[in-house]
Amino acid sequence: MVNPIDFEISGWDISNMNMFDACKRAHVLEPTLVNALQKDLEKIVPLPAVLNQAFIAANQSDRVDNVYTGTNQECIDKLRKDIQDQKAKVDKVIVLWTANTEMFLLPEIKDINDLKDRIGRDVALPSSVLYCIAAIEEGVLYLNGSPQNTFHPGVIEYAKEKGAFLGGSDFKSGQTRFKTMMSDFLIGSGIRLSSVVSYNHLGNNDGKNLQEDKCFQSKKISKAGVLDDAVKSNTILYPEDNKHIDHEVVIKYVPFVQDSKRALDEYSSSIFMNGINTISSYNICEDSLLATPLMIDMVILGELFTRMTINDEAMGPVLSYLSFFFKAPSTNHDEYVINSFSRQRECLVNLLKAAAGIQPDDSTLLAFKF
């Protein structure tokens, strides 16, 4: 695996604020640390970003002072040039989308012809799709850290044609990761989980953008699927005619708490003799500091997977083994989307063991001849 110390970090932003001033504005890192790194951080200035503001919240307009404008094709060409410039500096480029959640693009892009037609006719496309197309055409890995539907069937087909790689979607760092473990635990214990209610409030720019319903709906859809795998795992608790779980997600913007996210969850289960068992949790976390290590992990593992082959065949175009890091995992085949925390982890660990020539986990304990 590559050493994260060897990373060269660059990127785009709709704000031209250098990294030092951006750190001051974000109120995430300790001021003493930020001040000690002032000279280095001031040198990092974002490249002009491509933006279609119709797909994000209107309240982001006060940040927009560093944007490249043009046709769809001109924007893709500009992004490709930026990637090419970075390629000249390093051995390999990986594009990681950590920008604002966009609203869903409907109707979806059904195939390559549909994709090229929309680009050529300059049909309004969300920025994430334009970045993704630029990455595909440059043959680099694109990781989608937000919940919008960037990976349309036509985009995945295009990545396969170009031999590029994709991973996503939507970082799974705090509340949702906990939810995949709790649903595993309850349903795996033979308890029917009947209601899951999740409330969040946060004060960073992510929370501000999610105030607008069109952006929140993308997040809600992303969070909704995390229970599907647990439900499918037990057809006795969840028979064909009764698979429903009441699942609600609420996100509120409270500027005062800044990056310190508050997450409250309530898990209610139907138990013996029509009883009810309720487990409540309250989690306070630094939102950005939970997400950043995931970004490092998925860049390192994603880069490794771009070099791995199975029976002389490259993985992809979707790097499905990265599902462990995402709320709404994308795969190459709909029939094996896995949301369960324990199954995702076991899948990833066993792949790495097999690649290293180590025997994958066997939990049967048959070797002990019980």
> Quick check: 126 and 55 in contact, CB under 8 A?
yes
Neighbouring C-alpha atoms within 13 Å toward the C-beta of 201: 6
For residue 39, give the DSSP letter: H
Structure token digits, residue 88: 């000249």
- What is the residue type of 340? S
Q: Which of 78, 179, 223, 327 is flagged as catalytic? A: 327
Is 327 assigned a catalytic role?
Answer: yes
Residue 365 gets the label, from left (phi > 0), alpha (psi -120 to 50) or beta, of: left
Is 219 assigned a catalytic role?
Answer: yes
Q: Which of 170, 206, 259, 265 is flagged as catalytic? A: 170
Q: How far is CA 218 from CA 201, 209, 327, in A?
A: 17, 12, 12
Determine which helix (DSSP H) or strand (DSSP E) holds 306, and give its type and residue range: helix 287-307
Per 3-state DSSP, the chain is made up of helix, strand and coil in percentages (nearest 5) of 45, 20, 35
Q: How far apart are CA 311 and CA 175, in angstroms?
A: 38
> Quick check: 227 and 270 in contact, CB under 8 A?
no
Q: Which of 82, 179, 261, 287 is flagged as catalytic? A: 261
Please calculate the CA angle 66-69-71 and round it to the nearest 5 degrees: 155
Q: How many CB atoms lie within 10 A of CB 64?
A: 14
DSSP character string of 134-178: HHHHTT-EEEE-S-S----HHHHHHHHHHT--EEESSB--SHHHH
Q: Which of 78, 172, 219, 223 is flagged as catalytic? A: 219
| CA 346 to the chain's CA centroid | 20
Please calculate the CA angle 123-128-130 and round it to the nearest 5 degrees: 50
The residues carrying an active-site annotation are 170, 219, 261, 327
